[in-house]
């Protein structure tokens, strides 16, 4: 009974504070954007799958957005307003997401930003939010958004295809010539698979075995056998954690383990825990993942880590897993950038501050580089132009409101701490001509 | 206030869609005694057909998604095709699931049909784009240039018009001699067969009509939300409509309408307004637990629902003398120890 | 290729063992009480969770099996004797009882979801080198699972055919009123059946998670359709029928994923049920005399 269309939004985050936001919304005069202090709380809505098959999306988001809100409030809030988070559950289902989002829009008056929407519901929800003039920091990989003209859409995340092409480039660099692709039939995995297949095709690397795994089966023995019969040198994969645990456990026990290259989505705590449990000591050696390149250890990274640690009681367990979670870091950066844009615009009104978002992130002549929210506010107050350099690294929105950087091949030491193995640059990725990718 | 208007109008559309579902299930279950635990599959099929025939042809390489029989048909052809598709699918499923068998077997088998269908659609990406589903389905008559607000409410009214037209039609059918024959079959299958009613045909007719309505409801829904994927039709969705039917009252259309208003619309929207308790997702779990409890309680205390079937409907039916005791003593429609 | 076929068949037997343990419990319960119990999957998950917690607290997996079985037995007794009997006393009939268990299944599953915080837990008990049996390679776990399945089948058949209570159980399953007339204490038999089938259900949950290496709140529920299909195919109340049906479904599923599109394999397993319905409708015909609930 996963992801049923019970049209509900679970309200997550700081409950009392969210209530406060609703309760006080009537008295707030948020129309023109106030610079005063002690204003009504501003709501950041997380439009994401909180329950159902893709509930990890909600956890990834909470791991980044809640610490960001915490840190911004610690630094005095935005123009005197505190931020509160309100979760809106899409259940990875557009039919659930639509009324949930509309209910949220109807009941949330001081809404300044949406974190999300995630992949599954983005095509339905992005137009609704754009029409409602709500800025969103989407983590939706659909290539449909590569050249979007929606003014309120912002994506600090590579499209799915970029990750797939990076995996293919990495395989090529490693000299692999026989690749097996093993993907779950769940939404996330199927969303990422075309990019991987197209990348391999573009680089002329043959796919010797193409296996789809129906999630939650008691056994995948025949698929394992089939995979082994094809003698791949490497497996490119993504599936939900439980399925991956069963499949790779059986693969190892039958003696067919070869190196594994996972998509970015595999570099999350549940997947790593499940597969590490199934592979035991072989895991570290076998597993590589291509992820958005973590930034060098700037002050932005330190600020993120400190905030996660300080806010650890609020984020879903285990809190340590978000320290290196690329999705969480993306949400953090999105939140900080939007908050700085409000400061730069002297307004909490989305129609006013929306266009300031690239102005506080993109590099430019004469800009002061800042790494934290507090630092940015200080420089803005001093009348400076700023460039927020995020925990995920350089943020540079193009004309389509997309910003993404290099991809990095990483291993895991067993926790979700990445161990750097190599880099695939954004330039390399863009040079690969892929077609037919969702 | 326009955000409220959007929200309410969406709920109105959903009410229309759910009412269609309730009417269809009530015909199949309340009248014909067919336990269609796969109902959501027919809605899903209608939605997919309407989506695929509105989206335009699948252009292959470089395209956004994959699907079969892509076409760009003008409104309201996709809706009509969705209805026919639902009916056709009901015909196929009915072939093996309507055989004379214990009704609990039938329920279990249809439940399994629901699971297989979801698995096949998820696994077979080229059919309806697998688990990612179809998105970007154009809204019908968008070219009329109505404002957003006006369009919302037009669609809401449109779905209500369809829902109540079907409601009236099915209620009329149920009160016709055909409906009386259905109830006769439901309550006394052997006797109904003995007086010359063709049980197989009757049951199939009710099933196919229900399937058609299911398909229509799916088409109506997908043209509104613009997207459809396996996440939207998990087999548990059927339970929500069943609960509404149990709560409202089986075999009674007004009761079903009340149940639909109470359960999927009001009852399931209320938690959205509650503050968070516990960890994220807890409310969701509690909601389902509550549905299960509500379901069991209504079976325990009020098997006849809030608005029971009107006892005098069948009076005057020349076909069967219906004893009060044998009739809706059981909400299932009386499988009271019948032989066969 | 012969080895592919042999492997697929062997894998099918492993899968069948997992299905069969659950299906045997289900079919005995169903055959005697006439309750098509859709909360059975939830009880499987309960058994699995108890074993998971036991192992997580350092108890050996073998005791985990026993504890899982015990949990299943207790939960089933509470459901059957405590709850369903009350419904039956109020006049709930065969079909409505299935609907009751469906609602109950929802309650169990989502209570587990609420307790487990919707997390999937990792469960690995045995890691060792594969065994090569001719062209077929299996893991020790799988061999053990198959052996457990076989042992349960033999034990169950012996119980039903050789012991007094087993014979009484069979007598009651075929005709409750006659059994009662012969002086069999049917209420005791019913309690025994709840306990026995519940224990098998809990055990099946543990075996399932040992093989799948993880457990979540939907574990049993997702598996239940296969179990029901096997029980219906094999004929209510017949452990040997359940075993045969499980073998058929297991082997078809695995052979299909070896040669066809693996994504369709489970559907292919269910497809057997549909084919049987179309070609041998008598398999599911209601028998008339056997349509009363027997809960006391």
Structure tokens, B129: 């784009």
H or E, element range at A42: strand A42-48
Give A254 to chain C, closest Cα distance, Å: 6
pLDDT tens digits along C11-23: 899 999 999 999 9
- The contacts of residue A240 (CB under 8 Å, 6+ apart) are A53, A184, A186, A188, A189, A215, A271
| pLDDT at B23 (0 to 100) | 95
For chain A, 438 residues long, give each residue's pLDDT as a single digit of tens: 333 333 322 322 333 333 333 333 333 333 333 344 457 899 999 999 887 777 788 889 999 999 999 999 999 999 999 999 988 988 878 888 888 898 899 888 899 999 989 877 888 899 889 999 999 999 887 777 888 889 999 998 888 788 889 999 999 999 999 999 999 988 778 878 888 998 999 899 999 999 988 887 878 888 898 899 999 999 999 998 889 988 998 898 888 999 999 998 898 888 888 898 888 888 989 999 998 877 788 999 999 999 999 998 888 878 888 988 889 999 999 999 999 999 999 999 999 999 999 999 999 999 999 999 999 999 999 999 999 999 988 899 988 899 887 888 999 876 667 888 998 988 888 788 776 554
Q: Are strands A234-238 and A418-424 parallel, antiparallel or unpaired?
A: unpaired
Give C189 to chain A, closest Cα distance, Å: 33
User: What per-residue string of b and e applies to B115-140 under the rule 16 or more CB within 10 Å gives b?
Assistant: bbbbbbbbbbbeebbbbbbbbbbbeb
User: How many other C-beta atoms are found inside a 10 Å radius of the C-beta of residue A204?
Assistant: 9
Do the interacting molecules here have an ipTM over 0.90? no
Contact: B119, A16; criterion CB under 8 Å: no
Rounded to whole angstroms, the Cα distance separating C44 from C69 reads 9
Structure tokens, C216: 């979540």
Structure tokens, A210: 């193409």
| pLDDT at C281 (0 to 100) | 64
CB-CB contact of A180 with A142 (8 Å): no
Report chain B's mean pLDDT, rounded to a whole number: 81
Q: Mean pLDDT over residues B140-153, rounded?
A: 82
Rounded to whole angstroms, the Cα distance separating B337 from B326 reads 10
Q: Mean pLDDT over residues B100-111, rounded?
A: 83
Rounded to whole angstroms, the Cα distance separating C260 from A186 reads 20
Q: Mean pLDDT over residues C239-267, rounded?
A: 85
The torsion of the CA quartet B249, B253, B258, B261, rounded to 10 degrees, works out to: 120
Cis, bond preceding C185 (omega within 30 deg of 0): no
User: How many other C-beta atoms are found inside a 10 Å radius of the C-beta of residue A383?
Assistant: 6
Minimum mean pLDDT range among A107-111, B332-336, C83-87, C168-172: B332-336
| pLDDT at A225 (0 to 100) | 87
Residue A227 backbone dihedrals phi, psi, to 5 degrees:
-60, -45
pLDDT(B324) > 60: no
Give B72 to chain C, closest Cα distance, Å: 30
To which residue do tokens 């543990």 refer? C206
pLDDT tens digits along B193-217: 888 888 889 999 999 999 999 999 9
Rounded to whole angstroms, the Cα distance separating A221 from C246 reads 17
pLDDT tens digits along C102-150: 899 989 999 998 888 767 777 777 666 778 877 788 888 888 999 999 9
Of B10, B65, B122, the CB nearest to A99: B10
CB-CB contact of A132 with A113 (8 Å): no
pLDDT tens digits along B10-28: 999 999 999 999 999 999 9
Q: Measured between beta carbons, which residues in chain A are less than 8 angstroms from residue C263?
A: 185, 212, 214
pLDDT(C159) > 90: yes
- The contacts of residue B198 (CB under 8 Å, 6+ apart) are none
Site from C109, C120, C211, C258 to mutate, A interface, most A CB atoms within 10 angstroms: C120
pLDDT(B326) > 80: no
CB-CB contact of A40 with A27 (8 Å): yes
Distance of CA A345 to the CA centre of its chain: 26
Q: Are strands A418-424 and A407-412 parallel, antiparallel or unpaired?
A: antiparallel
Residues 40-99 of C with CB under 8 A from B: 86-87, 90-99
Reported confidence tier of residue B306, pLDDT bands at 50, 70, 90:
low
Q: Measured between beta carbons, which residues in chain C are less than 8 angstroms from residue B130?
A: none
| pLDDT at C284 (0 to 100) | 58
Reported confidence tier of residue B316, pLDDT bands at 50, 70, 90:
very low
Residue C190, strand partner residues: none
Sign, Cα dihedral of C35, C36, C42, C48: positive
CB-CB contact of A53 with A240 (8 Å): yes
Sign, Cα dihedral of C88, C90, C94, C100: negative
| pLDDT at B60 (0 to 100) | 45
| pLDDT at B59 (0 to 100) | 56
Give C112 to chain A, closest Cα distance, Å: 13
| pLDDT at C285 (0 to 100) | 55
Rounded to whole angstroms, the Cα distance separating A105 from A119 reads 20
pLDDT tens digits along C257-293: 888 776 677 788 888 877 877 776 666 555 544 467 7
Nearest to A184 by CA among B122, C126, C296, B248: B122
Of A3, A7, A51, the CB nearest to B234: A3
Nearest to B149 by CA among A131, A25, A351, A149: A131
C134-143: which pairs have CB atoms within 8 A and are 24 or more residues apart?
C134/C6, C135/C2, C135/C3, C135/C6, C135/C7, C136/C3, C136/C6, C136/C7, C136/C10, C137/A254, C137/A255, C137/C7, C138/A254, C138/C10, C138/C14, C139/A250, C139/A253, C139/A254, C141/A253, C141/C210, C141/C211, C142/A221, C142/C14, C142/C211
CB-CB contact of B309 with B171 (8 Å): no
Nearest to A357 by CA among A333, A321, A330, A325: A333
Contact: B99, C284; criterion CB under 8 Å: yes
Chains that touch A (3 or more CB pairs under 8 A): B, C
Q: Measured between beta carbons, which residues in chain B are less than 8 angstroms from residue A3?
A: 231, 234
Rounded to whole angstroms, the Cα distance separating A299 from A389 reads 9
Structure tokens, A289: 């993942």
| pLDDT at A12 (0 to 100) | 28
Minimum mean pLDDT range among A52-61, B162-171, C47-56: A52-61
C14 touches chain A (CB under 8 A): yes
| pLDDT at C192 (0 to 100) | 94
Give B318 to chain A, closest Cα distance, Å: 43
Residue A261 backbone dihedrals phi, psi, to 5 degrees:
-115, 115
Residue A207, strand partner residues: A179
Angle at B134 between CA C265 and CA B281, to 5 degrees: 80
| pLDDT at B340 (0 to 100) | 28
| pLDDT at B307 (0 to 100) | 64
User: How many other C-beta atoms are found inside a 10 Å radius of the C-beta of residue B293?
Assistant: 14
Nearest to C97 by CA among A373, B123, C89, A387: C89
Helix H, strand E, coil C: the string for chain B is: CHHHHHHHHHHHHHHHHHHHHHHHHHHHHHHCCCCCCCHHHHHHHHHHHHHHHHHCCCCCCCCCCCCCCCCCCCCCHHHHHHHHHHHHHHHHHHHHHCCCCCHHHHHHHHHHHHHHHHHHHHHCHHHHCHHHCEECCCCCCHHHCCCHHHHHHHHHHHHHHHHHHHHHHHHHHHHCHHHHHHHHHHHCHHHHHHCCCCHHHHHHHHHHHHHHHHHHHHHHHHHHHCEECHHHHCCHHHHHHHHHHHHHCCCCHHHHHHHHHHHHHHHHHHHHHCCCCCCCCHHHHHHHHHHHHHHHHHHHHCCCCCCCCCCCCCCCCCCCCCCCCCCCCCCCCCCCCCCC
Q: Measured between beta carbons, which residues in chain A are less than 8 angstroms from residue B233?
A: 5
| pLDDT at A55 (0 to 100) | 79
CB-CB contact of C222 with A2 (8 Å): no
Question: How many alpha carbons lie under 13 Å from residue A113 in its C-beta half-sphere?
Answer: 31
| pLDDT at A139 (0 to 100) | 86
| pLDDT at B280 (0 to 100) | 65
Of B4, B61, B287, the CB nearest to A6: B287
Contact: A246, C214; criterion CB under 8 Å: yes
Contact: B131, A436; criterion CB under 8 Å: no
Tell me how many residue pairs between chain A and chain C have CB atoms under 8 A apart: 110
Cis, bond preceding A310 (omega within 30 deg of 0): no
User: How many other C-beta atoms are found inside a 10 Å radius of the C-beta of residue C37?
Assistant: 30
Residue B232, strand partner residues: none
**CB-based burial of residue A296 (10 Å sphere; 0-12 exposed, 13-18 middle, 19+ buried)?**
exposed
Rg (CA), chain A: 21
| pLDDT at C293 (0 to 100) | 78
């Amino acid at each position: 009974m996963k992801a049923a269309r019970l049209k509900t939004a679970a309200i997550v985050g700081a409950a009392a504070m969210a209530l406060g936001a609703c309760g006080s919304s009537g008295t707030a005069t948020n129309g023109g954007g106030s610079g005063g202090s002690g204003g009504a709380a501003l709501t950041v809505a997380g439009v994401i799958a909180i329950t159902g098959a893709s509930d990890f999306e909600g956890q990834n988001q909470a791991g980044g957005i809640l610490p960001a809100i915490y840190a911004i409030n610690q630094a005095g809030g935005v123009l005197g307003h505190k931020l509160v988070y309100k979760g809106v559950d899409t259940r990875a289902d557009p039919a659930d997401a639509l009324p949930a989002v509309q209910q949220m829009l109807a009941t949330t008056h001081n809404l300044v930003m949406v974190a999300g929407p995630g992949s599954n519901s983005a095509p339905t929800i992005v137009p609704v939010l754009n029409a409602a003039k709500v800025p969103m920091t989407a983590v939706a990989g659909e290539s449909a958004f590569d050249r979007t003209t929606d003014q309120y859409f912002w994506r600090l995340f590579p499209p799915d295809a970029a990750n797939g092409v990076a995996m293919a480039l990495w395989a090529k660099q490693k000299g692999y010539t026989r690749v097996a692709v093993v993907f779950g039939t769940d939404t996330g995995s199927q969303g990422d698979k075309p990019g991987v297949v197209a990348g391999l095709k573009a680089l002329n690397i043959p796919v010797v075995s193409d296996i789809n795994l129906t999630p939650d089966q008691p056994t995948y023995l025949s698929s394992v056998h089939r995979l082994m019969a094809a003698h791949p040198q490497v497996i490119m994969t993504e599936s939900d954690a439980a399925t991956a645990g069963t499949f790779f456990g059986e693969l190892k026990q039958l003696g067919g383990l070869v190196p594994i290259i996972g998509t970015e989505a595999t570099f999350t705590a549940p997947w790593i825990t499940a597969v590490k449990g199934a592979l035991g000591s072989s895991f570290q050696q076998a597993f590589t993942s291509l992820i958005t390149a973590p930034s060098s250890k700037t002050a932005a990274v330190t600020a993120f880590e400190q905030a996660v640690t300080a806010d650890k009681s609020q984020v879903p367990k285990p809190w340590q897993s978000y320290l290196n979670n690329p999705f969480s870091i993306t949400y953090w950066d999105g939140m900080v950038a939007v908050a700085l844009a409000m400061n730069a615009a002297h307004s909490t009104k989305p129609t006013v501050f929306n266009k300031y978002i690239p102005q506080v992130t993109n590099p430019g002549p004469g800009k002061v580089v800042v790494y934290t929210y507090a630092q940015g506010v200080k420089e803005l107050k001093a009348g400076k132009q700023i460039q927020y350099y995020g925990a995920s690294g350089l943020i540079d929105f193009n004309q389509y409101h997309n910003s993404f950087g290099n991809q990095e091949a990483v291993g895991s030491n067993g926790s979700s701490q990445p161990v750097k193995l190599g880099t695939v640059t954004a330039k390399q990725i863009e040079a690969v001509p892929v077609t037919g990718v969702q | 206030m326009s955000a409220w208007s959007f929200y309410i109008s969406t709920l109105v559309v959903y009410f229309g869609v759910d009412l269609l579902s309730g009417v269809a299930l009530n015909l199949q279950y309340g009248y014909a005694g067919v336990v269609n635990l796969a109902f959501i599959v027919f809605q899903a099929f209608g939605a997919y057909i309407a989506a695929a025939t509105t989206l335009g042809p699948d252009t292959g390489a470089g395209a956004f998604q994959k699907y079969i029989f892509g076409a760009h048909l003008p409104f309201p052809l996709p809706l009509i095709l969705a209805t026919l598709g639902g009916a056709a699918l009901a015909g196929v499923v009915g072939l093996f699931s309507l055989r004379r068998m214990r009704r609990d077997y039938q329920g279990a088998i249809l439940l399994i049909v629901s699971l297989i269908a979801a698995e096949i659609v998820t696994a077979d990406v080229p059919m309806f784009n697998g688990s990612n589903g179809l998105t970007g389905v154009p809204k019908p008559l968008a070219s009329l240039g109505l404002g957003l607000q006006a369009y919302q409410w037009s669609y809401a009214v449109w779905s209500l018009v369809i829902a109540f037209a079907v409601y009236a039609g099915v209620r009329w059918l149920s009160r016709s001699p055909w409906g009386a024959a259905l109830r006769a079959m439901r309550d006394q299958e052997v006797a109904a067969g003995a007086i010359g009613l063709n049980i197989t045909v009757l049951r199939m007719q009710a099933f196919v009509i229900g399937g058609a309505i299911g398909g229509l409801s799916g088409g109506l829904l997908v043209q509104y939300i613009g997207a459809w994927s396996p996440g939207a039709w998990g087999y548990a969705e059927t339970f929500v409509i069943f609960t509404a039917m149990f709560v409202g009252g089986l075999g009674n259309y007004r009761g079903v309408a009340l149940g639909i208003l109470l359960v999927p619309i009001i009852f399931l929207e209320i938690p959205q307004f509650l503050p968070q308790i516990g960890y994220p997702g807890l409310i969701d779990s509690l909601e389902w637990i509550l549905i299960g409890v509500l379901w069991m309680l209504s079976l325990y205390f009020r098997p006849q629902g809030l608005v029971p079937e009107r006892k005098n409907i069948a009076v005057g039916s020349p076909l069967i003398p219906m004893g009060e005791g044998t009739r809706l003593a059981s909400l299932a429609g009386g499988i009271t120890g019948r032989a066969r | 290729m012969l080895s592919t076929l042999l492997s697929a068949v062997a894998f099918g037997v492993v899968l069948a063992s997992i299905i069969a343990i659950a299906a045997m419990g289900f079919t005995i319960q169903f055959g005697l009480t006439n309750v098509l119990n859709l909360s059975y999957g939830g009880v499987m998950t309960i058994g699995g969770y108890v074993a998971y917690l036991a192992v997580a607290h350092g108890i050996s997996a073998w005791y985990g099996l026993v504890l899982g079985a015990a949990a299943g037995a207790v939960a089933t007794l509470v459901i059957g004797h405590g709850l369903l009997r009350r419904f039956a006393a109020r006049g709930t009939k065969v079909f409505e009882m299935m609907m009751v268990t469906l609602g109950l299944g929802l309650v169990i599953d989502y209570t587990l979801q609420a307790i487990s915080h919707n997390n999937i837990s990792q469960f690995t008990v045995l890691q060792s080198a594969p065994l090569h049996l001719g062209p077929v390679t299996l893991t020790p776990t799988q061999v053990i699972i198959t052996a457990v399945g076989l042992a349960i089948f033999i034990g169950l058949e012996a119980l039903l055919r050789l012991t007094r209570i087993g014979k009484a159980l069979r007598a009651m399953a075929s005709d409750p009123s006659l059994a009662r007339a012969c002086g069999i204490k049917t209420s005791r038999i019913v309690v025994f059946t709840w306990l026995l089938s519940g224990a098998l259900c809990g055990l099946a949950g543990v075996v399932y998670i040992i093989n799948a290496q993880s457990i979540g709140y939907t574990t049993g529920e997702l598996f239940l359709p296969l179990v029901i299909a096997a029980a219906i195919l094999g004929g209510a109340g017949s452990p040997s029928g359940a075993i045969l049906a499980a073998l058929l479904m297991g082997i078809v599923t695995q052979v299909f994923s070896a040669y066809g599109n693996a994504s369709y394999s489970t559907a292919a397993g269910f497809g057997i049920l549909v084919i049987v319905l179309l070609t041998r409708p008598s398999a599911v015909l209601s028998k008339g005399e056997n349509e009363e609930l027997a809960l006391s």
